[in-house]
Structure formats: C-alpha cells, structure tokens
C-alpha cells in the first residue's frame, strides 16, 4: 500500500531527476523563463519553486469547497465598488447637511441680531443735589454736591435722550424728623401746546410723623414716560416742609430705556 510519505518521496525524486537532466544539457542560450502566476505561488514569496510543490504535495490527498477564484475576485471588487459608492454618497450627504447647518446658523444669527435690535437698551442718569436752585431768594437752604436741605421748593432741570422711556425714579434721602417731611416729583410741560403733562409724572414723599432715617424711595409708575424733547421740557421738584438738619436729599437716579 502506497502511503502519503512514499508518494511525497517519489514526487521529490522525480523532480530532482528532472532538474539534474536539465542541468547537464549544454546550453547555448538562456532558457525562456515561464510566466509568473501568483495563483501557483502557494507561499506567496514571489517565486515558484520546490517550496510551493512541497506545500501542495503535503495537502495530498484533501478535498473541500470548490471555489471559483475569478468569480470570488469579481465579487470582492463589486463589494469594494459598492462600499466606495456608499462612502461617496455618505460624503455628499454630510456635505449637504453641513451646508444646511451653516445656512441655519447664519439665519439664527440674523434672527438673534434682529431680536437684540428690538430689545431696548437701559440707561441711567444721576442728578446731584447741587443741581437744585431755590424757588425764592428769600429761602433758607444749604447744599453741596451730595447734600441738600432747606425750606420750601427747589427745582432742577432734566435732560434725557429724545425718545427714551423713563422706567423708574429713585430718591436717596434722610428723614429723621417727626415734624417735617420731604416730597419729590418729576414734572413735565408741553411748551408747544402750553399745558403741563400729568402732574406729577412720578412722585415720592415721607410723612410728618415718621422718622425712617436714611431711606431710598422709588416710583416706577411713570406717566407720559416717553421723552419728547421737541415739544416738551422736564424738571425735578423737591419740597421741604421745614428747614431741618434731619431732612436731607442726597441724590436722585432716573432709569430709562431707549431703542437701539
């Protein structure tokens, strides 16, 4: 019985004998080399030699699934082409989404800018007690940049941006008297039609019987709040019921909004 080992030995012997015969034949010219076939190069070393034959003989006898290598290569190429096509489609899809996103961001930025343009900006103006003048030269009073006290009425002109809307009037004062009070008002007058605006436009006051000490009073319910410098003029009015060192105005702040 011929074994697999015997078969391998016989094939190798035959191969060696054949090689030897070719080697002793005198050669007058270089022999033609065969065409290299990668399918025959079993160990994929770039050379078809006895090593490939040993590997092939070592697999004898064996059997398995018959493979059409050409069809397999074509199928692999088809799959690669399909994958490349999918990648191209994905790239085109992503590029489209990026362009759409960039367009949306530009539109969003435009809307935000439009929204910001509609949001009024805030402004403030502070009026020093030094800005007030007495109604009469016969009044007794004392003032400097952060202090005003006296007897009777005092006035200060007011200038705000045209079109601004007054939103709050805040008055900082000291009232430690239980027999006197301080009143403070925002006034306006239409010089074109010659009539006063709402009297007062805003106002705060202490009482004769109270002694709150240092307080901050405010009024955010402003009448005729939109400034009209073309037709109107504005002023602040302070009233002291008596000249008392316990009745003092320290400062005034007006808050307003204006369109951008």
Rg from Cα positions in the chain: 52
Judged by average pLDDT, the poorest of 105-119, 201-215, 245-259 is: 105-119
- The pLDDT tens digits for 132-156 are 999 999 999 999 989 999 999 999 9
- The pLDDT tens digits for 240-255 are 999 999 999 999 999 9
**Model pTM score:** 0.58
pLDDT bin (cut points 50, 70, 90) of residue 34 is low
Judged by average pLDDT, the poorest of 18-22, 33-37, 87-91, 192-196 is: 18-22
**Beta bridge mates, 233:** 189
**Higher-pLDDT residue of 26, 37:** 37
Q: Summarize the confidence of residues 16-43 as an average pLDDT.
A: 60
pLDDT bin (cut points 50, 70, 90) of residue 3 is low
Q: Is the pLDDT of residue 20 over 60?
A: no
pLDDT bin (cut points 50, 70, 90) of residue 27 is very low
Q: What is the dihedral of CA 155, 159, 165, 167, to 10 degrees?
A: -40
pLDDT bin (cut points 50, 70, 90) of residue 29 is very low
pLDDT bin (cut points 50, 70, 90) of residue 69 is confident
């Amino acid at each position: 019985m011929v074994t697999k080992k015997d078969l391998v030995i016989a094939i190798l012997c035959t191969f060696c004998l054949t090689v030897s015969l070719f080697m002793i034949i005198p050669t007058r010219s270089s022999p033609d080399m065969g065409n290299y076939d990668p399918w025959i190069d079993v160990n994929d070393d770039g050379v078809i030699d006895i090593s490939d034959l040993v590997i092939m003989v070592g697999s004898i006898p064996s059997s398995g699934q018959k493979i059409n290598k050409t069809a397999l290569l074509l199928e692999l190429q088809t799959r690669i082409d399909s994958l490349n096509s999918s990648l191209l489609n994905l790239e085109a899809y992503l590029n489209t989404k990026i362009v759409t996103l960039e367009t949306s961001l530009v539109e969003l930025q435009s809307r935000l800018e439009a929204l910001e343009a509609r949001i009024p900006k805030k402004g403030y103006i502070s009026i020093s007690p030094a800005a007030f003048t007495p109604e009469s030269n016969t009044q007794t009073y004392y003032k400097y940049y952060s202090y005003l006290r006296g007897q009777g009425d005092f006035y200060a002109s007011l200038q705000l941006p045209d079109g601004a809307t007054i939103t709050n009037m805040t008055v900082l004062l000291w009232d430690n008297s239980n027999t006197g009070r301080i009143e403070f008002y925002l006034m306006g007058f239409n010089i074109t039609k010659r009539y006063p605006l709402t009297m007062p436009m805003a106002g705060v006051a202490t009482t004769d019987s109270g002694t709150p000490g240092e307080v901050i009073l405010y009024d955010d319910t402003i009448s005729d709040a939109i400034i009209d410098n073309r037709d109107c003029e504005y002023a602040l009015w302070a009233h002291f019921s008596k000249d008392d060192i316990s009745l003092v105005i320290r400062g005034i702040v007006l808050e307003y909004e204006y369109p951008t």
